[in-house]
Amino acid sequence: MEIRQLRTFRAVATFLSFNRAAEHLHYAQSSVSAQIQALEEELGASLFDRLGRGIRLTEAGERLLQYAGKILDLADESRAEIAGAKEVRGTLTIRIPESIGICRLSPVIGHYVTRHPEVTLDFTTCAHETLEKDLRKGITDLAFLLTESIQAASLDTEVLGFESIAMVASPDHSLSKRKTIRTRDLEGETVLLSTVDCSYRRTLERLLGESGVAPANVHIFHSVEVLKRCAINGSGITILPKVSVEEDLADGRLAALNWEDAFEVAFFMIWYRERWRSPALEAFMAMTREVLNPSYDAS
């Protein structure tokens, strides 16, 4: 069993695709298939079920994936230590909430890329549903999330601050004229929600359910900027972190509604407890604390 084979196996298990694993590893697909076949022959077990055009891990494959992660992390750790050493290079895949990525994390990113130009950063939006699995598999190295709480025994978390969630709409919207808004006032209204900042969205959906409120329409957006633009143009009401709409509120493009059920969420940094943290990852976490914690504005 070779380290090269385990890396290939982990890539196939991560993407559940021989094609995508080959592209990721810069191998020919035939090379990926040959390595998996050799690994299966050595272990005497099938690692993947072939299902038409798709594949999935077998029970043996699931078990091997856990060991492969530990072996590869240990190999990377030993290589980093012996070769000197905490060399900060490589690639990091980081999940960030789009709504506050610019406001909170852009200074972190700016300082980091200046200090560590050898590291490639790959940012994706943060989906809560698959977060633990992707951190465990190594698809994601680090995540940031806006939520009220996190319950996952395998994850380590750090609260970087708190964000106020504001309900906003166009200044011309009928509800913007009211002194106070209750959740039940959303009955029959059009509500705009984001898929990429889904944790606080769940809180609004829970409040609507508890109040027995049925909006006329709920439109779902994969981009916070598009969602915000639609709210500015009068398409409906939405909730967003206040820090992400401060300029729009100050310029009068949006109006903040005095919502009685307004709430705050924590801004979490999250990583998988049992995975080795590379020098590049440790440096990004340290930079985040250095930039955000001393002057974090929990407005």
Tell me which residues of the chain have a pLDDT lower than 70: 77, 80-87, 126-129, 196-198, 294-299
Cα 36 from Cα 74, distance rounded (Å): 21
Residues 6 or more apart in contact with residue 247 via CB below 8 angstroms: none
242 and 280 share a domain?
A: no
Look at residue 189 in the predicted model and tell me its pLDDT.
95
166 and 261 share a domain?
A: yes
128 and 276 share a domain?
A: yes
Q: Which CATH number covers residue 215?
A: 3.40.190.290
216 and 258 share a domain?
A: yes
Look at residue 299 in the predicted model and tell me its pLDDT.
44
94: in domain:
yes
177 and 97 share a domain?
A: no
* DSSP H helical ranges for the chain: 3-15, 18-25, 29-43, 59-82, 98-100, 106-115, 131-137, 198-210, 224-232, 242-250, 279-292
Q: 218: which 2 tokens?
A: 């709920």
Between the CA atoms of 89, 93, 94 and 95, what dihedral angle is there, to the nearest 10 degrees?
180
297: in domain:
no
67: in domain:
yes
Look at residue 294 in the predicted model and tell me its pLDDT.
59
213 and 174 share a domain?
A: yes
Q: 15: which 2 tokens?
A: 């993407």
Number of structural domains (the chain) is 3
pLDDT digits (tens, 9 = 90+) for 172-184: 999 998 999 999 9
DSSP E strand stretches across 86-206? 90-96, 119-125, 142-147, 155-169, 190-194
168 and 260 share a domain?
A: yes
pTM over 0.75: no
Q: 159: which 2 tokens?
A: 């609260």
Residues 6 or more apart in contact with residue 278 via CB below 8 angstroms: 76, 80, 90, 92, 141
Look at residue 295 in the predicted model and tell me its pLDDT.
52
Look at residue 216 in the predicted model and tell me its pLDDT.
93
Look at residue 101 in the predicted model and tell me its pLDDT.
81
208 and 135 share a domain?
A: no
Which residue segment(s) compose the domain that 102 sits in? Answer: 90-160+267-292
Residue 167 bridge partners (DSSP)? 239, 257
CB-based burial label for 218 (10 Å; 0-12, 13-18, 19+): middle
Look at residue 65 in the predicted model and tell me its pLDDT.
86
Look at residue 100 in the predicted model and tell me its pLDDT.
82
Looking at residue 156, the DSSP 8-state letter turns out to be E
